[in-house]
A and B are shown apart, each in its own frame.
Chain A
Amino acid sequence: MTMNAGLCPNGHASYPTHPRCPDCGEPQDAGTIDLSKSSAEVVTWTRSTATPPGVREPNTLAIVEFDVSDATDGGDDVVRAIGQVTGDADVETGDEVEPVYAEELRDPEAGIKVPESQEWDGYRFDPVQ
């Protein structure tokens, strides 16, 4: 499992990756940036208490921003990602967090999607103390 952002020849980055760059339409074939080793800043967060089958309750979620300016050769400075916050951690806008791997983010068998149709592992965001 990786947490890779895609990069296009014009220096635009996105997470997740796409066949073509959402900004300029060029194939996103200029490499990837591994976000899992970097820390990020919380842009906004919510604590969801009405969660669907197979999802932990409450489910604290955050949109975070990674600094990728070293990897884009003068292109995008930041790339955003979304995900669960670890455990019951308190988090605030502006906090620093780091990705922590989790084997199963929700129960693949409990929801409407066919379990084999997508991945269920990924990275939660853990507040840096």
Chain B
Amino acid sequence: MDVAVIGASMTQFGQRDAWIRELLVEAGEACLADADVSPDGIDHLYVSNMASGEFEGQTGIMNHLAHDLSLMPAYSERVDQTSSSGGAGIYEAWQSIASGASETTLLVGAEKMTHRTTAEATDIIASITHPVEYKHGLTLPSFAGLTARHYLERFDAPRESLAKVAAKNHKNGVDNPKAQFQKEVDVETILESPIVADPLRLYDFCPITDGSAAMLFTTVERAEEIADEYAVVSGVGGATDTHVVHERDDPTVMGGVVDSSDEAYEMAGVGPDDVDVAELHDMFTILEFLQMEGLGFAEQGTAWQHVEEGRTDRDGELPINTSGGLKSKGHPLGASGVAQAVEIYEQLVGGAGPRQVDADVGLACNVGGFGNCVITTIMEAAE
């Protein structure tokens, strides 16, 4: 069965007083209201979340959300795929509808992080690493530093090109009222910010964020009957790369991006040239280059040129991260993959306001770990 998205929502991202339970309810309620669907119509509930137990001590959050939204006796499940939990939730939601197991599926992703110090949050996230990495104090930002240096040296790319990714995404975020940061940051400020993982600096990294986002899925057939507007999930693919990051043949190739997008393109019957707008997982600026290349938007070692030439700006030939990206919108781990797809949905139904671009085909790439698990989702405007 072909799968449609008939509703979407996201909470304010940033430093929130709300805890994980409240964030989930806020996005879930808003999504049901957006689609005008009542709780008793939900067959499956998926909750994307990486680490509510580790961050907050609250587990069993799918059960909590099902109860608070009165979704009983809907099937409910928490989906953890680290930073790509949101994308994995989309995959599960798609499967539930495509297989006929569910007629209407609610997906809500959320993370509550800002009550922890940066060091504590970094350690919780770094706990995904292999013991031979963790014992040396490897963190996700340090993988980004190692990979960025290799990319810049090998492809003779200027350091400024990474800063331009951050500047572009901050500029896009100015027009997203739900974003954690809504201010422009110029290249000079980025290049003068404190070093976090040499050669990367503070503004090469996304912030620590609280937030939640939600989507409602059903069949295209039913969407035609009940929805004012909808988008079609035409392709979705997921793939896993090595757990130990240094074991990959080429540090600049994200195998999970390549494999998951091959699968999604094939299912959708489209290629990279058909994509009109994309949300990429810019947890670190270097990841935007690596995903552009893995997705086929640029040849290996050339993504930086596309950014330098403005081709990925909002008014460029392929706008990337019109939402502001993880960089300015924020990165509440389990919510991020859902929020990426929410932006694509809004772009496809014409609901993106000042961020609106002309798009019939949109792509979201959600990266877990340092490319350890990746989900690529392709959505298309309803005919």
Residues B120 and A46 in contact, CB atoms below 8 Å apart: no
Residues A105 and B141 in contact, CB atoms below 8 Å apart: no
A45 to B134, CA, bound (A): 16
A77 to B176, CA, bound (A): 50
Residues of A within 8 A of B130 (CB): 16
A112 to B246, CA, bound (A): 23
Given A14-B247, A59-B137, A105-B136: A44 and B127 within 8 A (CB)? no
Residues of A within 8 A of B145 (CB): 46-48
Q: Is residue B34 within 8 Å, beta carbon to beta carbon, of the partner chain? A: no
Given A59-B137, A61-B136: A52 and B247 within 8 A (CB)? no
Q: Is residue B36 within 8 Å, beta carbon to beta carbon, of the partner chain? A: no
The listed residue (B120, B131, B142, B245) touching A59 by CB distance below 8 A is B142
- B93-129 residues with Cβ-Cβ distance < 8 A to A are 118-120, 122-124, 126-127
Q: How far apart are A102's CB and chain B's nearest CB, in angstroms?
A: 10
Residues of B within 8 A of A38 (CB): none
Residues of B within 8 A of A50 (CB): 118-119, 122, 139, 141, 196-197
Residues B246 and A63 in contact, CB atoms below 8 Å apart: yes
Residues B135 and A119 in contact, CB atoms below 8 Å apart: yes
Residues A55 and B137 in contact, CB atoms below 8 Å apart: yes
* Interface core residue of B120, B142, B149 (most chain A CB under 10 Å): B142
Residues of B within 8 A of A54 (CB): 137
- A82-124 residues with Cβ-Cβ distance < 8 A to B are 82-84, 93, 105-106, 111-113, 117-122
Interface residue count on the A side (C-beta < 8 Å): 39
Residues of A within 8 A of B242 (CB): 22
Residues of A within 8 A of B60 (CB): none
A59 to B141, CA, bound (A): 12
Q: Is residue B323 within 8 Å, beta carbon to beta carbon, of the partner chain? A: no
A96 to B55, CA, bound (A): 41
Q: Is residue A49 within 8 Å, beta carbon to beta carbon, of the partner chain? A: yes
Residues B122 and A81 in contact, CB atoms below 8 Å apart: no
Given A50-B118, A63-B246, A112-B123: A44 and B150 within 8 A (CB)? yes
Q: Is residue B198 within 8 Å, beta carbon to beta carbon, of the partner chain? A: yes
Q: How far apart are A10's CB and chain B's nearest CB, in angstroms?
A: 15
Q: Is residue A30 within 8 Å, beta carbon to beta carbon, of the partner chain? A: no
Given A45-B149, A46-B142, A48-B196: A118 and B135 within 8 A (CB)? yes
* Interface core residue of A15, A22, A50 (most chain B CB under 10 Å): A50
A48 to B198, CA, bound (A): 7
Interface residue count on the B side (C-beta < 8 Å): 40
Residues of B within 8 A of A47 (CB): 145, 195, 197-198
Q: How far apart are A8's CB and chain B's nearest CB, in angstroms?
A: 13
Residues B126 and A118 in contact, CB atoms below 8 Å apart: no
The listed residue (B139, B149, B194, B247) touching A48 by CB distance below 8 A is B139
Residues A61 and B135 in contact, CB atoms below 8 Å apart: no
A118 to B69, CA, bound (A): 41
A115 to B158, CA, bound (A): 42
* Interface core residue of A52, A59, A120 (most chain B CB under 10 Å): A52
Residues A82 and B137 in contact, CB atoms below 8 Å apart: no
Chain B 70-96 interface mask (CB, 8 Å, partner A; 1/0): 000000000000000000000000000
* Interface core residue of A54, A61, A117, A122 (most chain B CB under 10 Å): A61
Q: How far apart are A18's CB and chain B's nearest CB, in angstroms?
A: 9
Residues A52 and B123 in contact, CB atoms below 8 Å apart: yes
Residues of B within 8 A of A14 (CB): 244, 247
Residues of B within 8 A of A45 (CB): 146, 149
Residues of B within 8 A of A106 (CB): 135-137
- A18-51 residues with Cβ-Cβ distance < 8 A to B are 22, 43-51
The listed residue (A43, A59, A118, A119) touching B150 by CB distance below 8 A is A43
Closest to A124 in B: B136
Q: Which residues of B contact A (CB under 8 A)?
A: 54, 118-120, 122-124, 126-127, 130-139, 141-142, 145-147, 149-150, 153, 194-200, 242, 244-247, 251
Q: List 10 A-B pairs, minimum CB-CB distance, nearest first.
A: A46-B145, A55-B137, A52-B123, A118-B131, A44-B150, A47-B198, A48-B142, A82-B246, A48-B197, A80-B246
